Structure 1
Amino acid sequence: MQLDLNLLSALDALLEEGSVAGAAARLHVTAPAMSRSLGRIRRTTGDQILVRTGRTMTPTPYAIAVREQVHELLHQVQGVLAPSRELDLGTLERTFTLRWHDSLAALCGPALLTAVRGQAPGVRLRFLAEASVDTPELRRGEVDLEANATRPSAPDIRAESVGETRLVVVMRQGHPLARGRAVTAERYAAAEHVTVSRRGNLSDAVDDALARLGLTRRVVAAAPTEAAALEFVRGSDLLICVPEATTRTAVTDLGLTVRPLPLELPSAPVYLSWHQRYDTDQAHAWLRGLARTALAGCAASS
């Protein structure tokens, strides 16, 4: 039997995307063409690979068992057909797309851009705002790097912790809690609050910590970005809980005050994430190294 290597690429895409439409979009082919490829794969392997379960498709036990092997084989084939060459940063021309939490983009983005421009002037960076829902762009190769406080759960997404920063309370300088007695959990809970949530959530881990103490707080608004939430705080008696590393420019530019959070909460992590297809991409690895340094520097300075 003659092996069609195109089927290996199709199988890899189908197993990662979990749908014919997703795999077709990733490989830039039509859905009918990908459906035909799935049919050929089924005939070749004697397995259904993906089976319909309601509105979604679920991989078979065989598909789950061979997923990592298929991906590794595809990488080996690509390495043979496209042997790596020494990366020439001076002539590299490429556009990378980054989806970073807005505060990380504002705080760490300038250092990354400066480093990139200094080493590879032909490289351009596209920073995208976080979406209100989880999106598949990272898996589809439409986003190169993500940076936020969430570790992805998908098996084909790589993630590494590049730092962490403790949570603090931010308020306007004339806020009643900005002077005098220490901010206790009771005084903190008695104030009004704003949360930062791209999904519009009016509660978060702070509420869970307060509940363990038998306390509740009143959240009057949810802002989609930290920058918007800080503007709410600037002109009111609202409080906001944010990572300390992101407050330095806010304190200087907006005239705000920072106080310790009177609750037992773990530090906020910072994760850098990318799709495993870029593990051996030299230019991508170079950018990951610069991003890692920039993000770690921000967290370390908190």
Structure 2
Amino acid sequence: MSRTLARLRAATGDRLLLQAGRSLVLTPHAEQLRERLPALTREAEALLKPPEYRFDAATLEQRFVVRAGEGFIDLLGAALMDQINGTAPGVQIRFTPKPDWDAQALRDGKIDLEIGTVKTSAPEMLTRLLFRDRYVGVCRVDHPLVSSVGVSLEKWLQLGHVLTARLGEESNAVDVSLAAHGLQRKVSITVPSYGSAMQVARRSDLLAVIPQSCVGNTFAPNHAAANGLHWFELPVSTQAFNVSAIWHPRLDHDPAHRWLRAEVLAICLTAYPQHTVSGKRSSSL
């Protein structure tokens, strides 16, 4: 108490409490403070108390910036907005390109949510597994390869390929698997997105490797065929990978952001039920 009183005296410039015989008395300034303290205490408690309000998506007026690949936007963008418009007509989604995996935009608040594989080195980011994906091959529907009974590794390697690689990306799962066996694809062209790879394969004899989620889903079951493409199992083994929602801890308890994450998860559960597994949120990347 003596140390606390000393700090208060230093802060106020007043002695505050003095000895009067066997008791203690307040100075005039301390008397004034005592009258004001209850109101100040209530104001401080109200300021520090968590906000009490009932979140209502129907009245939400907000634009969320979501970074996602072309595949997610093309196949799930419309379905996501249809779902959102049914409960939150005042919400807008602005999709932004995904040129790399830099987390700085999430840290700066320029992006509210990212959807894709977790390749950031930012340890504070939180994630939620949306679904599991894997790689498949595609070629144009009238490609000579389609008439083959299965796609052999020898035939597949003889043909030209489209490589999908973002700026700064030096390797991918398919080529790593081939290199382990001393093999290499004949890459004729490199493009920055799976959507571009699909379009190049559609208009040429080249083959492309894309995530199976880009082939179609429950909302667009014949997406590949509708785009003039035939998909097939790869003759080389690759590991399945996670597609996750990624966000900064600053928004973890925000009711509007929690609602958005739930909407994204729900659309993925509907679109890829066979590829969805129970996932836990994690701050360890």
Hey, what's the Cα distance between the residues in 1 that align with 2:46 and 2:226? 50
Aligned residue number for residue 286 of structure 1: 259
Aligned residue number for residue 295 of structure 1: 268
Counterpart among 136, 145, 153 of residue 177 in structure 1: 145
Counterpart among 164, 170, 175 of residue 196 in structure 1: 164
Counterpart among 150, 175, 186 of residue 218 in structure 1: 186
Report matched runs for 1:139-288 at 5 Å: 139-199=107-167, 201=169, 203-248=171-216, 250-288=223-261
Would you tell me which structure has more helix in proportion to its own residues?
1
Tell me, yes or no, if the aligned pair for 2:67 and 2:96 is still in contact at 8 Å. Answer: yes
Q: Which amino acid aligns with 2:116?
A: N
Q: Deviations over 1:68-110 (max 9, x none)?
A: xxxxxxxxx9993551411022211111110011101111222
Change (3 A) 1:106 1:277: same
RMSD across aligned positions (CA)? 2.4
Indicate whether 1:108 and 2:53 are aligned: no
Q: Which amino acid aligns with 2:270?
A: G
Aligned residue number for residue 105 of structure 2: 137
Once the 2 structures are TM-superposed, how far is the Cα of residue 299 of structure 1 from its aligned partner?
A: 3.1
Once the 2 structures are TM-superposed, how far is the Cα of residue 223 of structure 1 from its aligned partner?
A: 1.1
Once the 2 structures are TM-superposed, how far is the Cα of residue 135 of structure 1 from its aligned partner?
A: 5.1
Counterpart among 72, 79, 86 of residue 54 in structure 2: 86
| TM-score, normalising length: structure 2 | 0.73
Hey, what's the Cα distance between the residues in 2 that align with 1:107 and 1:91? 28
Tell me, yes or no, if the aligned pair for 1:195 and 1:229 is still in contact at 8 Å. Answer: yes
Aligned residue number for residue 11 of structure 1: none
Q: Deviations over 1:250-283 (max 9, x none)?
A: 4232211111011111113211101001111011
Change (3 A) 1:78 1:97: farther
Change (3 A) 1:190 1:237: same
Hey, what's the Cα distance between the residues in 1 that align with 2:65 and 2:100? 18
Change (3 A) 1:230 1:250: farther
Hey, what's the Cα distance between the residues in 2 that align with 1:217 and 1:78? 65
Hey, what's the Cα distance between the residues in 2 that align with 1:79 and 1:96? 27
Q: Secondary structure of the equivalent of 1:221?
A: strand
Change (3 A) 1:233 1:134: same
Tell me, yes or no, if the aligned pair for 1:195 and 1:202 is still in contact at 8 Å. Answer: no
Q: Which amino acid aligns with 1:298?
A: A
Consecutive unaligned residues in structure 1, runs of 5 or more = 3-76
Hey, what's the Cα distance between the residues in 1 that align with 2:199 and 2:255? 41
Quick check: which has more Rg, 1 or 2? Answer: 2
Change (3 A) 1:150 1:133: closer
Once the 2 structures are TM-superposed, how far is the Cα of residue 174 of structure 1 from its aligned partner?
A: 2.2
| TM-score, normalising length: structure 1 | 0.69
Consecutive unaligned residues in structure 2, runs of 5 or more = 1-6, 9-44, 217-221, 276-285
Q: Secondary structure of the equivalent of 1:168?
A: strand
Hey, what's the Cα distance between the residues in 2 that align with 1:177 and 1:282? 51
Hey, what's the Cα distance between the residues in 1 that align with 2:77 and 2:61? 19
Q: Which structure carries more relative contact order (alpha carbon 8 Å, separation 6+)? A: 2
Hey, what's the Cα distance between the residues in 1 that align with 2:237 and 2:263? 33
Tell me, yes or no, if the aligned pair for 1:158 and 1:275 is still in contact at 8 Å. Answer: yes
Tell me, yes or no, if the aligned pair for 1:234 and 1:256 is still in contact at 8 Å. Answer: yes
Hey, what's the Cα distance between the residues in 1 that align with 2:262 and 2:214? 21
Hey, what's the Cα distance between the residues in 2 that align with 1:79 and 1:129? 39
Change (3 A) 1:150 1:188: farther
Tell me, yes or no, if the aligned pair for 1:230 and 1:250 is still in contact at 8 Å. Answer: no
Aligned residue number for residue 24 of structure 2: none
Tell me, yes or no, if the aligned pair for 1:202 and 1:222 is still in contact at 8 Å. Answer: no
Moved over 4 A (4+): 200-203
Tell me, yes or no, if the aligned pair for 1:107 and 1:298 is still in contact at 8 Å. Answer: no
Identity of aligned residues (%): 32
